[in-house]
Structure 1
Amino acid sequence: ITAIAEQMFGFKTTSWELGRQRSVIELDTPSVTAEQMGALERSVNEKIRERVPVVVRELAADDPEIETVRSRGLPDDHAGPVRVVDIEGVDSNMCCGTHVSNLSDLQVIKLLGTEKGKKNKTNLVFLAGNRVLKSIEQSHSTEKALTSLLKNGPGEHVEAVKRLQSSVKLLQKNNLNLLRDIAVLIARDFKSKPVQSQLFVLHRYGGVQGRGYSACWKLCFFTRPYRKEGDSEFMNIIANEIGTEEALLFLTVGDEREAGLFLLAGPVDAVEHLGPRVAELLGGKGAGKRGRFQGKAAKMSRRGEVEALLQEFISHRSPEA
């Protein structure tokens, strides 16, 4: 590939990587067009079909023929003969690696595409030999699985996935709108109570059943998969609707026993004092300002400890205490 890319288009190879899954050649050009890549692939596979011999020779270091061999130059401390690999009619190159004796041993080369390289260069990605066969086998298995899941032929897979993506986006939008409405209703219901509690606690999770509403609430409904943006907005809508001048709000969303998000809202001095402690109890981290402290929690199972902490704070702050 290196030799023919230089012959056909003047693209010099500056580095390469023969990885475990795929191989990459770095070409000293800002881009390679689809037409160039197609022509290059056809040419290298033509050489493979022609069964071009590969011959290894050793030349003396002072042999004038060395000057005609393509190379990046010999190391300053080189001693002894120079190893030259000849691909008949294609290339003559210094190299110390192992090589096939005939290009037909490569079977086939498939150029997969290009990626942006370093310093205005282009990475050409390719497969050779058995890797091409393995890739085809994997692609065929994926195609069969998609045919079974999407209930259509391979030619219709892309359109089917596009339709599914559009449906998911619409469902997510509708779900977010419902979530906003529910948050407003929860807040208004709390505010309609004849006796206002100083503490409002709510946890939202995915499930089937839930408890009734009281000073401490527990809400559950099908809203998975969770979206961080939607969950944060849900908590902040409730905080905005209830108001945080008097009441202390502790809201959480996510898995009941594992990870999730939390929001502590209320009087500025109380939140500044309690916020870091709440994050510590939940095994998470957070930040806040102007009476809001929110973040991620790793130990949602410790919500009860946070509630106890808040109850204790309120009891010590109350005039009756």
Structure 2
Amino acid sequence: MVFKCQEDSFLKEFTSKVVTCTEGQLKTVIGGKITTLSCYEVVLEDTIFFPEGGGQPCDHGLMDNVAVLHVTRRGTEAVHFVESALPVGKLVKQKIDWERRLDHMQQHSGQHLITALADIYFSYPTTSWWLGEGESYVEFDIRSVKPLNLDKLEDLVNEKIRAATPVFVTVYEEGDTELRKVRTRGLPDDHKGAVRIVTIEGVESNMCCGTHVTNLSQLQTIKLLRMEKGKKNKMNLYFLVGGRVLQQLSACLHREHQLTALLKNGPADHVELVDKLQKSLKCANKNLQAVLREIAVREAACIKQQVPIPRYYSLHRKEADSDFMSILINEVGDESVLLFLTVGDDKGGHMVLYGEPATVAQLGPQVCALLNGKGAAKGPKFQAKISNLANRVKAEELIKQYVTCTTSGC
């Protein structure tokens, strides 16, 4: 079946009758986690909501003010997952999220154009593509791509856009001999009925179920972003089309304005100044590490010079790191001195409890819990990443009490 959305991809509203409405469940991702939602599965006589397929996500929108959460195809039917029930036989007004639809049409038609010209001019065969929320990519069955070829490909696709090349759809019955002449990766196993062919005039004809523009000028422009290695010796070409190019440009300009304010120089000098700042920071960090190493050595010397040598020693340095603690421990080199060391600030840090293995095994988890940390003991050392340095005083009291009891035999 060819749905209304495929007959007219620019139709934003449409009225159709509810054929079935049953309770169902929808697995979706919310906040990065897979969640199952209770909903209703609705089938209409016809629909302007595109059901996901051909690499294109489904449409969203409303049916009589009821949110359409997802749309999928089952055989010849488009199944709409909606928030609440709709009476069977009722005429419902469909209204799609036009911004989402236009974005998907631009990316999908753009992919067809990139795929066709990459194959025609450079013999880069496309094996799949992905329409992402931010960026999309075409997967080429090649091991590498010359940068000059990408520049040329970008010029070629934008030439076709500037030429306002027509795009049209032809519908054939399955088995028609004309279908042998078009690009295709095959029909889905459950496909039934007519077959749509999307043609970019003078470029290619491609078997496709998706929604598309009617003229390449509606793509506005295409920007090829980068090539990355894909799976099985393939390459992925990332791209933006139309509105996404403008969004990316706006985001880049916003960041540029922020950098100009921070760096107090013009955009043309940003790279040079940031390079200088990075080198300066690297030098400062190197000097800091040298100073911290010297402090660790001196702290260790002070501990060893005490008479009698202390049973317990505590130290916190906000600006230090794990290397500082390791140097101090190595310099002391005496498990009979129980060392409680922490670095970091209120946002988080690290701790080390070092001493006799039995003591560390007993005290380490308790101290770690007080500091809201996560770590483990290995021999004479308990290390942990911590997030509550405010309890450091309580941890010290716990350690002092243990050392006092051990010494006095309480």
Interval containing the TM-score (normalised by the shorter chain): 0.7 to 0.9
Deviation digits for residues 263-315 of structure 1, max 9, x if unmatched? 11223332233223322332223234442222222322222332222222222
In the TM superposition, what is the alpha-carbon distance from 1:258 to its structure 2 partner? Answer: 5.6
Task: Kindly report the root-mean-square deviation, in angstroms, between the aligned alpha carbons of the 2 structures.
Answer: 2.1
Structure with greater strand share of residues: 2
What is the Cα deviation at residue 19 of structure 1?
1.9
Residues 46, 235 of structure 1: CA spacing in aligned structure 2 closer, same or farther, 3 A cutoff?
Answer: same
What's 2:316 paired with?
203
- Give distance in 2, aligned partners of 1:75 and 1:196: 78
The yes-or-no answer on 1:291 pairing with 2:404 is no
- Alignment match, 2:249: 136
CA distance in 2, matches of 1:263, 1:283: 14
Q: 1:245 to 1:65 in 2, by over 3 A?
A: closer
1:29 to 142, 146, 150: 142
- Alignment partner for residue 123 of structure 1, among 221, 224, 236? 236
Matches within 5 A, 1:113-192: 113-192=226-305
TM-superposed CA distance for 1:130, in Å, is 1.8
CA spacing shift, 1:314–1:136, aligned 2, 3 Å: closer
Query: Which residue is equivalent to 1:216?
Result: none
Corresponding residue number in structure 1 for 2:117: 4
The residue that corresponds to 1:318 in the other structure is 407
Instruction: Tell me what 1:300 maps to.
Output: 389
Residue 73 (structure 1) aligned with residue 186 (structure 2): yes
Q: Which runs of 5+ in 1 are unaligned?
A: 206-222, 224-229
Cα drift, residue 193 of structure 1: 3.9
Secondary structure of the residue aligned to 2:321 is helix
2:335, 2:354 within 8 Å by CA — same for their partners in 1? no
Partner of 1:48: 161
CA contact (8 A) 1:261 1:295 kept: yes
- Closer/same/farther in 2, CA of residues 268 and 6 from structure 1, 3 Å limit: same
Following TM superposition, by how much is the alpha carbon of 1:187 offset from its aligned partner in structure 2, in angstroms?
2.8
**Alpha-carbon contact 1:258-1:301 (below 8 Å) kept:** no
Greater CA deviation, 13-22 or 270-279?
A: 270-279
Q: Which has the larger share of helix?
A: 1
Structure 2: distance between partners of 1:143 and 1:315: 60
Aligned CA distance change for structure 1 residues 91 and 320 (closer, same or farther; 3 Å): closer
Q: Structure 1 residues 283 and 36, CA, compared in 2 at 3 Å: closer, same or farther?
A: same
Structure 2 SS opposite 1:159 = helix
> Who is 2:131 aligned against?
18
Deviations 1:130-161 (A, max 9, x none): 22122222222222332332233323221211
Query: In the alignment, what sits opposite 1:84?
Result: 197
Question: Which residue identity lines up with residue 123 of structure 1 in the other structure?
Answer: N
Which amino acid is 1:59 matched to? Y
Q: Aligned partners of 1:64 and 1:186: how far apart in 2? A: 86
Q: How far, CA to CA, are the matches of 1:137 and 1:104 in structure 2?
A: 21
Give the direction of change, closer, same or farther, for the CA distance of 1:269–1:19 in structure 2 (3 Å limit).
closer
Residues 258, 3 of structure 1: alpha-carbon distance in 2 compared, 3 angstrom cutoff = closer
Secondary structure (helix, strand or coil) at the match of 2:183 reads coil
Q: Is the contact between residue 254 and residue 260 of structure 1 (CA under 8 Å) also seen in structure 2?
A: yes
Residue 290 to residue 76, structure 1, CA distance change in 2 (3 Å): closer
Distance 1:24 1:275 in 2: 50
Aligned length: 297
CA contact (8 A) 2:167 2:199 kept: yes
Deviation at residue 318 of structure 1 after TM alignment: 1.9
The corresponding residue for 1:38 is: 151
Number of the residue aligned with 1:232: 322
Give how far 1:200 is off. Answer: 1.2
Aligned AA (1:57): T
Segments of structure 2 that go 5 or more residues without pairing to the other structure are: 1-113
CA distance in 2, matches of 1:194, 1:165: 46
Cα deviation per residue 1:8-61 (whole Å; 9 max; x = unaligned)? 112111111222222211111112211111111111111111111111111122
Q: Paired residue for 1:250?
A: 340
Deviation string, structure 1 residues 144-194 (Cα, Å, up to 9, x no partner): 332332233323221211111111011001001111112222233344444
What percent identity do the matched residue pairs reach?
A: 49
Normalising by structure 2, what TM-score? 0.67
Partner of 1:208: none
Residue in 2 aligned with 1:220? none
Give the aligned partner of residue 276 of structure 1: 365
